[in-house]
A = this chain, B = another copy of it.
Amino acid sequence: MQAEIISVGTELLLGQILDTNAVFLSRELASLGIGLYRRSTVGDNPQRLRQAVEEALARAELVITSGGLGPTDDDLTKETVAQVLGLSLIPDRPSLEWIQDYFAKMGRKMTENNYKQALIPEGGEALPNLHGTAPGIVVRYKEKLIICLPGPPRELKPMFHDYVSPILRTESKGVILSRVLKLCGLGESAVAEEVADLLANQTNPTLAPLASEGEVQLRLTAQANVMDEAVRLLDELEAKVRERLGEAIFAVDEETLEQVVVRLLTQRRERLAVAESCSGGLLADRITDVPGASAVFDRGVVTYSNRAKEELLGIPAAVIAREGAVSPEVAHLMAQGVRKKSATEWGVGITGIAGPGGGTEEKPVGLVYLALEGPEVSLVRELRWRGERSLIKRRTTQAALDLLRRELLKK
């Protein structure tokens, strides 16, 4: 099956946003064994969009569009596709009800232009949008399959997983299967060095490293006629990677580091409290992103001022004055203090200099002390990061979660 993707949006052609949908869809199609032959991007212009849709339909059996399904006048994808196929647009009742319900629940007035979002080409099928108002659309036309998806990645991605992927699985032949091993605590080149022999001379399955904020991903991809064979190829390669890098692998595919930590705490029926300074609440934020976190996360304190460190964590002003707020002693007392006050099994303390200001020769921007207190465990780590403020925050919380993960796995 040959596919093409058309991304619609003037903001893309002006370079105002990165087309992450195109990358996402490309990967998904590859993993389904569907050959992607071309991606095109056009603006919110009916003539040029029409030309792109016609060309793609002439070449490919599957055409996926993203963007242009919203309520405003420059949202034209659906209208254009219907026009190319010679179909009229008719209201889809479940979609209309969903949109009405959406506005009612938000307590907002549903404006007239929102009715447009519930229109779909006759004979087409609406795909529910659980994260927004514009439904997706599937239309079959002369052996061709046209799928229109909304532009916001938050809406497009779950819609693809929930509705599009199952449809495409039944259409495609052969499989390309991917699996992602996620690692932390090692840089990309260190990971690449450990698996250098596997990276050289690879054909099927393939192995590709990819670095992203504080973690490294190894993507394993296998091609096969049937799923079982693809799975076997990936299992064999994964076993070889685990022999060398087992400890650093924290998850396979979707699971995030914070999900792993919440899962391990839940399994152990243990609870956590965190005291953050330079990470500014990001650690608490990441943990509370996990559904069910409330069962294991008691509290967080973001003690930005010294007074907050004294009042909320009981750290003596004299210690802060003597050692400095960014010191192993203060990190240790933060972890100990928040653990004691909340009576949890685990406490984390983080203090450092996120920059861009505040650094000195002795204590430069990027210097962070990370402390972990737990049952029979008392650790302090010195971390030294480079990069901008938000990256330092991100990497620090990654290190904190990884330290806790490794301790939780020990017993």
Contacts and interface: CB of A to CB of B under 8 A. Distances in A.
A316 interface: no
B42 A107 contact: no
A100 interface: no
Interface stretch (A224-232, A277-285, A327-335, A400-408): A277-285
A263 interface: no
A41 B21 CA distance: 14
A268 interface: no
A154 B395 CA distance: 13
Contact of A111 (B37, B190, B208, B212): B190
A199 interface: yes
Contacts of A283: 281
Contacts of A289: 280, 389-390, 393
Contacts of A109: 190
Contacts of A386: 102, 105-106
Q: How many copies does the complex hold?
A: 2
Contacts of A10: 208
A357 to B, nearest CB: 7
A30 B178 CA distance: 36
Interface residues of A, number: 117
A256 to B, nearest CB: 11
Nearest to A193: B111
Interface in A12-46: 12-20, 22-30, 36-45
Nearest to A45: B37
A364 B26 CA distance: 37
Contact of A280 (B180, B219, B288): B288
A29 B17 CA distance: 15
A366 interface: yes
Given A27-B14, A74-B208, A304-B298, A43 B52 contact: no
B30 A14 contact: yes
A251 interface: no
Given A106-B385, A213-B154, A299-B303, A13 B42 contact: no
Contact of A16 (B44, B199, B219): B219
Interface in A305-330: 305, 307-308, 311-312
Contacts of A193: 111-113
A366 B104 CA distance: 13
A149 to B, nearest CB: 15
Nearest to A110: B189
A280 B291 contact: no
A75 B45 CA distance: 33
Interface of A: 10-20, 22-30, 36-45, 48, 52, 55, 70-74, 102, 105-109, 111-114, 130-132, 152, 154, 178, 180, 187-190, 192-193, 199-200, 208-213, 219, 221, 276, 279-285, 287-289, 291-294, 297-305, 307-308, 311-312, 341-342, 354-358, 364, 366, 384-391, 393
Contacts of A190: 108-109, 111
A286 to B, nearest CB: 8
A57 to B, nearest CB: 15
Contact of A15 (B27, B55, B281): B27
A245 to B, nearest CB: 15
A18 B23 contact: yes
A47 B17 CA distance: 30
Nearest to A25: B15
A132 to B, nearest CB: 8
11 contacts: A11-B208, A11-B210, A12-B39, A14-B30, A70-B211, A74-B199, A154-B387, A293-B304, A294-B304, A301-B301, A308-B342
B307 A293 contact: no
A409 B26 CA distance: 46
